């Protein structure tokens, strides 16, 4: 892949056998990193999740998505964080939402694991200045900032490009069909990670892995000129 942007493939399956099957499949297909959606696992617990990631034996993002941001974890907030803390021993990154209680975020940071501090809005694209503030706060806390918002107009997607242009170490996604292209063009802004769909899409507008990999291996236009023009405007 000519781009330095890693393609992450989310795995959203109910049990260990399905998770390992899909993980092995996408490792063979050339994924750069996997995202284990812990909130999709039935009756997950710290030891189970740690064992699964250890057995996958491949760079993995441990995500136990908060219910308020589209997650499905059924346990308490204490249980959700305990699982992420256990995963920090074996995961490449732990994803934790910005709106998580600060003491819980601190407990994950204390493990020394690299973190993705994330924010999701499945209803709208907030004003650009508000999104700037979100990303700035995320970067103060973790290694990578992530903001994923829902686009209603093409102009919404341009705001996501503005974020990618302004900030390093940031994943910015415009969710929905109109915003699908932001997942591809993110590589031209040197985003650290972009997400592609596996068998199950976990967010609106995700592009399937094979298509994403094919596109990122092409260089159809001079994007350096595009980015320079975008920054000038």
Active site residues: 120, 146
Q: What is the DSSP string of the chain?
A: --SSPEEEEEE--SSHHHHHHHHHHHHHHT-SEEEEEGGGSTT--HHHHHHHHHHH-S-EEEE---GGGT----S-HHHHHHHHHHHTTT-SEEEEETTS-HHHHHHHHTTT-EEEEEEEESS----HHHHHHHHHHHHHHSSEEEEEEE-SSHHHHHHHHHHHHH-SSEEEEEESGGGHHHHHHGGGGT-SEEE-B-SS--STTPPBHHHHHHHHT---S-HHHHHHHHHH-
């Amino acid at each position: 892949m000519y781009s330095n942007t890693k393609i992450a493939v989310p795995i959203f399956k109910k049990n260990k056998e399905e998770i390992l099957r899909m993980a092995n499949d996408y490792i063979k297909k050339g994924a750069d990193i996997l995202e284990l959606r812990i909130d999709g696992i039935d009756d997950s617990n710290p030891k189970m999740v740690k064992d699964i990631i250890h057995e996958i034996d491949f760079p993995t993002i441990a995500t136990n998505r908060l219910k308020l941001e589209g997650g499905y974890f059924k346990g308490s907030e204490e249980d959700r964080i305990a699982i992420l803390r256990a995963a920090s021993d074996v995961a490449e990154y732990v994803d934790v939402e910005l709106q998580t209680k600060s003491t819980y975020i601190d407990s994950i940071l204390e493990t020394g694991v690299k973190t993705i501090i994330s924010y999701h809005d499945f209803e709208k694209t907030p004003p650009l200045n508000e999104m700037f503030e979100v990303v700035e706060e995320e970067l103060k806390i973790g290694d990578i900032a992530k903001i994923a918002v829902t686009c209603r107009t093409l102009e919404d997607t341009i705001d996501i490009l503005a974020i990618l242009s302004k900030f390093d170490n940031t994943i910015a996604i415009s969710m929905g069909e109109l915003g699908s292209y932001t997942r591809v063009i993110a590589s031209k802004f040197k985003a650290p990670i972009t997400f592609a769909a596996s068998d199950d899409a976990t967010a609106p507008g995700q592009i399937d892995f094979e298509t994403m990999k094919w596109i990122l291996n092409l260089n159809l236009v001079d994007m350096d000129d595009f980015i320079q023009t975008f920054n000038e405007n």
